[in-house]
Structure 1
Amino acid sequence: MTRPADLAVVGGGVLGVSLALRARSLYPSWSITVVDQQPLGRGATGHSLAVVAPSGHTPYVRALATRSAELYRSPPWRDAVRPRRALLVAPQGSEALLGEQLTTAVAPATPAGLEHLGTAYESLFIAPTESVYAVENGFLQVDPVILSALLTPSRVEVVDDFTVVHCRRSGLHWDLTSDCARVLRAERVALCTGPWGDPESIADGVPWGGPPGSTKRVAALHVPRPGAADDDPLLVFPQDNLLLSPGERRVAVSFLRTGTRSAPLPVRSAAEWSSFGADVPFGADDLVEGRAALAVRCPEMAGQAVSGQAFWDTYLPGSEPRVERAPGSLPPLVRISGAAGSGVRLAPALADEALARLFSR
């Protein structure tokens, strides 16, 4: 039988890829395999705006955000990220509150920054009781395609048509069995499955410590803007859960979408992925909610929005991500569960924590 992999990562989104990259950095002699039921980065990660905000609503999340920012600026991640300036609209006198929530400096916007807003967003509404604050250093944007491509020079094996349906202990190893009866044996396993559930045998047989999460609809509008450019600052409305991300000739608008599922998405075979897109199109309801959210701040832009992107992501009670090790000593198995869109923002730090848990008892 082929020698077991030192580490098998189940899930090829930003969490799984980051875990594999971090493991390669810390343990260069390991054999590492990443498996997914679809091409890497095609799930929640690929439907995200992939903006890394230097923020956190609890001390634990802020610590993760700080650590992730450090790692994103280091090899190999730095090849897949770029810095973004940002303007935040918040109530006057919010410097102290923003300072508590952000992990980087914030200051009142300069006249040049305010002038840019006036020309880029003609109908922008800012209340007389609000101010605009600038964050020059701290926001980042990740390119999921480039990030996934970093696995090749890192000598990480990728199997992107491997739907794990069973994960069972076999002596001092784990046997991962696919829907096509292929078996991957590994000494250590990390589950990074995002909005999809655990493999059947894990879901039924491992008493994880935390309560189960749910999956929540995430969506973004695409608004044509001929004058928009990649280096324009992000525009963030923290109290409205609204983020405008300019790109070349368009602006992507992330908004708070209603709708949850009480259970994870069903695991699918590789063959089913050709039709899976029909399950999560950007539909009429997404467009209506997105336009309504954007109209509060930019009514003219809201009327121009005709398309977008949507998917599902994991949300946990308390909105804090969770890294757990399966009860028992050997062989080690860990699970990373994101929360409130924390996958891209906190992935490198969560990968660090998961690797530490693999060696804890």
Structure 2
Amino acid sequence: MMERQFDLAIIGAGMIGSSAAWLAKQRHPEWRIVLLDRSLAGYGASLYAASLEIPFGHTPLRRDLVRRSQRIFGEFQQVLPGLPRCEIAVEGLVEAADVEKLLSGFLDGNESHRARPEDEADLLRRYSGLIIPPRQVYLKGWVGSRAFRNEIAPQIAYAFSQKVGASLRQGTAVLDVVLEAERFVLSLSQGEKVQAQRVLIATGPWAMPGRIGEAARDAGIRIKKVAAFHLNKCPKPNASNLHFFSDDAFLLPQPEVGRWLMSFRSNEWDVNPRSEKMIISQADLAVATAILEKYMPTWIPHIQGGQVFCDAYTSTGDPIGKRVTGWPGCVIAGAASGSGFRLGPGIAEMALELLETNN
């Protein structure tokens, strides 16, 4: 018989939800915890993400979350040494007028990343066809990491599920959440109901109905399309992650599938993750082509399909972790603004701290 009484219910088993489940069980081994997802763990926005981690944050909160995530990723790696995650060099081009602002966002924030003329020559040698536009500066020397099979969230969720008092329920949608007699009652898609003393909502772009959806809207969360193209060009060994910072785009080598991923900013807002708009459009192609025309025009013919998903954003770009007003013990977390892999573990820890101080 399945357990129906829990100390914590987590809705959404993406990077944030899976990390929160694992962290909560580490901190509170006596808690009975259920992790629920309408699909498979990690098969929402996390499945389509670039899974890139760089030591950068536009705001103080994002930088704090990056630091937290780096530490937690290290903990994951100790417990799960086979995680498909590796280091990658990070470098890029930026308008000279934006250099100081950009450097202030990196965790070390120093001037040592300004490249020398011989460094530029090496960059041009490594990236055939690359153009350094006038008034742009080459910066280098950061180290990030990438996951190369999008298996981080599923493996964390599975590791959590093997612990005593832990339950992972996949293919299970939460249709409603209500508060009754100081406990939350979750109505599930199979027709059953479970109760929990605490609830963490980490559904990403999939909005919850009722009070939870209202809390998300009150927090200013909006859903935006995220697009990336595949470039059918095999990366060289030890290829770097190359950013075009002033154009909010980057190239990420994916040698395991013989291609590059080109990520860029899409400006389609208020989309539905189940919408027919979740395809590559002519507008997407025009944006990507314009960026490549500026920096790497000889790479344009290598565009060959891509991937599209959506994510939750806020107006400031800062993720949220907040209590749902009037519902003690319920926290909503997310709005990573396309950086769920990089910030997810940190957001999970922030949300868990709210739940701990509330009870």
> TM-score range, shorter-chain basis?
0.7 to 0.9
1:256-293 Cα offsets, whole Å, 9 max, x none, are: 112111xx737xxxxxxxxx596623344433332223
Residue segments in structure 2 that go unaligned for 5+ positions in a row:
none
Q: Distance in 2 between matches of 1:312 and 1:237?
A: 22
Match of 2:264 among 210, 230, 255: 255
**CA shift for structure 1 position 219:** 0.6
1:186 counterpart residue number: 196
2:129 counterpart residue number: 123
1:142-162 Cα offsets, whole Å, 9 max, x none, are: 353133123323324221111
**1:224 is the counterpart of 2:222:** no
Q: Distance in 1 between matches of 2:306 and 2:216?
A: 36
1:104-119 to structure 2, matched below 5 A, reads 104=108, 106-109=112-115, 114-115=120-121, 117-119=123-125
SS at match of 1:319: coil
Corresponding letter in the other structure for 2:95: P
Q: Distance in 1 between matches of 2:278 and 2:201?
A: 23
**1:238 is the counterpart of 2:245:** yes
**CA shift for structure 1 position 29:** 2.4
1:176-208 Cα offsets, whole Å, 9 max, x none, are: 11233222222211000111112335335xx57
TM-score by length of 2: 0.86
Q: Distance in 1 between matches of 2:87 and 2:265?
A: 24
Shift of the 329–177 alpha-carbon distance from structure 1 to 2, 3 Å rule, reads closer
1:80-229 to structure 2, matched below 5 A, reads 80-92=84-96, 96-104=100-108, 106-109=112-115, 114-115=120-121, 117-137=123-143, 139-142=144-147, 143-154=149-160, 155=162, 156-203=166-213, 210-226=218-234, 228-229=235-236
Corresponding letter in the other structure for 1:240: D
**CA shift for structure 1 position 342:** 3.0
Corresponding letter in the other structure for 1:141: R
**CA shift for structure 1 position 68:** 1.6
8 Å contact kept, 1:95–1:107:
no
**CA shift for structure 1 position 315:** 1.0
1:222-268 Cα offsets, whole Å, 9 max, x none, are: 00113x1463110011111011001212110001112111xx737xx
Q: Distance in 1 between matches of 2:300 and 2:208?
A: 39
Q: Distance in 1 between matches of 2:237 and 2:324?
A: 43
**CA shift for structure 1 position 337:** 2.6
1:72 counterpart residue number: 73
TM-score by length of 1: 0.86
Shift of the 135–29 alpha-carbon distance from structure 1 to 2, 3 Å rule, reads farther
More displaced stretch, 154-163 vs 10-19: 154-163
SS at match of 1:176: strand
CA RMSD of aligned residues (A): 2.6
| Identity within the alignment, % | 25
**CA shift for structure 1 position 116:** 5.0
Q: Distance in 1 between matches of 2:351 and 2:304?
A: 41
Q: Distance in 2 between matches of 1:18 and 1:201?
A: 24
8 Å contact kept, 2:228–2:263:
yes
Q: How many residues align?
A: 345
Q: Distance in 2 between matches of 1:337 and 1:54?
A: 19
Corresponding letter in the other structure for 1:353: M
Q: Distance in 2 between matches of 1:149 and 1:102?
A: 29
8 Å contact kept, 2:69–2:343:
yes
SS at match of 1:260: coil
**CA shift for structure 1 position 84:** 1.4
8 Å contact kept, 2:14–2:45:
yes
More displaced stretch, 141-150 vs 156-165: 141-150
2:28 counterpart residue number: 27
Shift of the 115–34 alpha-carbon distance from structure 1 to 2, 3 Å rule, reads farther
